[in-house]
């Protein structure tokens, strides 16, 4: 499936979760463990150095490891065997202390945490870029009137800046979630066979502290072999982010429709074309993001289902995480990068937005008139009057303003100038512009 990697994923994220990276991070755990145990006097100092020097992924026979993993159910087991053999070639005595006092899940999970740290760094960079682009777009179109739509129908005037501010506000929350998730997830996994560090006896906690310091990870209160809320939190955080990206992509694609034509993805050579229709300009990035938003929820569900694990080591459910979480990262990174790339270059047709405001022949201003008339007639009576007038406008094909100008009740309370004012979108935007400012100001604090 490598043919589609550049479409749906991210090259940088692919490297983080490559086989070589996975092996190297597990070896990073083994190297740090050896150094930590040597510093705590658990193993000889020269053994720590000897083991650490061999912890290089390019020294490992990956094909043999893959074959052995199929039999052992766990890549750490054959990895430790190969590492031990490598150390034994130069220092048979040091080889006795490889993987001392730990268990295979410690190497697997801590290696995963190290991958997650790099993966979150990649996502953070695109999150910052996307939020910067959205803030600029919201500021530029703070006062650009457009039709607000509810249930796919014209509702009331709003501004394009307010729409973009809604996107930005959600992405700001995801930045907060990512930061909070880091504190809970970027922690060491180190517990030995059943989480008691029994093999290290009284030195267990000392080694754990030294190991966490070596890897620059937090030290949890206790090992978390079958408490999978941490990795499930990462998955759900990514799922929430991808959902918001999907919402943005849905809005952009809707507004790229020929009949609306208000917002467009950037054009480019070979971008968004058709194999048979020369005129087509398809929403490419939106399609990629929507694909991710469709796929990720099911993967998140798998991660949540995998939380129910047996006793001190999960059977099957732990293993279900291994390919699932990297795929979530891969899809989220691809979607986020697509959106961060196109937002600064979106083409906005302000004139078309203005024209579309009048697509319903003034019906979009019915509430504005009703609220004004309600001060004299009462809310219910004014609402009913405008319902009747709106129906007359639709049936006759006349503009609502024309219908109202011929209504005796309306003209008793509103002048022609009043009607002109009520049918100007700039006069019925509420506090949209102030709300845009609030979101932009909040974004600057992140």
Q: Is 313 a catalytic residue?
A: yes
Residue 443 CB contacts under 8 Å (≥ 6 apart), including other chains: 131, 134, 135, 168, 172
Q: How many CA atoms lie within 13 A of 392 on its CB side?
A: 15
399 phi-psi bin (left φ>0, alpha ψ -120 to 50, beta other): beta
Widest Cα–Cα separation across the chain: 103
Among the listed residues 123, 167, 133, the one whose alpha carbon sits nearest the alpha carbon of residue 345: 133
What is the spatial distance between Cα 107 and Cα 188, in angstroms, rounded to a whole number? 10
Match 């501004």 to its residue by tokens. Answer: 159
Identified catalytic residue from 313, 352, 354, 421: 313
Identified catalytic residue from 59, 184, 274, 355: 274
Q: At what angle do helices 204-215 and 19-39 cross, to 10 degrees?
A: 130
Instruction: Read off the tokens for 3.
Output: 């043919």
In 225-283, which residue ranges form alpha helices assigned H by DSSP? 229-255
What is the spatial distance between Cα 393 and Cα 396, in angstroms, rounded to a whole number? 5
Cross-strand bridge partners of residue 159: 145
243 contacts 289 by C-beta, under 8 angstroms = no
Q: Which residues are catalytically annotated?
A: 274, 313
């Amino acid at each position: 499936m490598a043919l589609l990697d550049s479409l749906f994923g991210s090259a940088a994220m692919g490297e983080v979760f490559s086989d070589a990276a996975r092996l190297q991070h597990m070896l990073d755990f083994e190297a740090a463990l050896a150094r930590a145990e040597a510093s705590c006097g658990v193993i000889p100092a020269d053994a720590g150095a000897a083991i650490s020097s061999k912890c290089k992924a390019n020294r490992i026979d990956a094909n043999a490891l893959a074959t052995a993993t199929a039999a052992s159910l766990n890549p750490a087991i054959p990895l430790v065997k190969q590492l031990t053999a490598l150390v034994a070639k130069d220092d048979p005595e040091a080889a006795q202390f490889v993987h001392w006092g730990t268990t295979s899940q410690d190497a697997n999970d801590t290696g995963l945490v190290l991958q997650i740290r790099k993966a979150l760094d990649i996502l953070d960079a695109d999150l910052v870029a996307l939020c910067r682009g959205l803030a600029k777009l919201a500021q530029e179109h703070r006062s650009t009137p457009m039709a607000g739509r509810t249930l796919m129908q014209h509702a009331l005037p709003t501004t394009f800046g307010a729409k973009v501010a809604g996107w930005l506000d959600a992405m700001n929350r995801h930045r907060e979630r990512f930061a909070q998730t880091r504190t809970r997830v970027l922690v060491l996994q180190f517990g030995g066979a059943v989480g008691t560090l029994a093999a290290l006896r009284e030195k267990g906690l000392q080694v754990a502290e030294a190991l966490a310091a070596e890897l620059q990870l937090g030290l949890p209160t206790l090992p978390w072999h079958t408490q999978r809320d941490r990795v499930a939190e990462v998955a759900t955080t990514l799922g929430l982010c991808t959902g918001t990206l999907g919402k943005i992509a849905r809005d952009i694609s809707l507004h790229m429709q020929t009949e609306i034509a208000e917002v467009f993805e950037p054009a480019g050579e070979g971008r968004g074309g058709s194999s048979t229709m020369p005129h087509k300009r398809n929403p490419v990035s939106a399609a990629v993001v929507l694909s991710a938003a469709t796929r990720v929820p099911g993967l998140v569900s798998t991660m949540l289902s995998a939380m129910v694990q047996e006793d001190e080591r999960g059977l099957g459910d732990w293993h279900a995480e291994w390919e699932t979480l990297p795929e979530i990262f891969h899809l989220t990174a691809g979607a986020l990068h697509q959106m961060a790339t196109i937002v600064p270059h979106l083409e906005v047709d302000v004139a078309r937005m203005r024209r579309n405001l009048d697509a319903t022949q003034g019906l979009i201003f019915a509430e504005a008139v009703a609220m004004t008339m309600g001060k004299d007639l009462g809310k219910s009576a004014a609402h009913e009057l405008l319902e009747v007038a709106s129906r007359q406008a639709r049936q006759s094909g006349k503009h609502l303003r024309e219908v109202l100008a011929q209504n005796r009740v309306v003209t008793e309370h509103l002048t022609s100038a009043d009607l002109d004012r009520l049918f100007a979108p700039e006069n019925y935007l509420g506090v949209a512009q102030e709300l845009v400012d609030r979101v932009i100001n909040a974004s600057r604090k992140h």
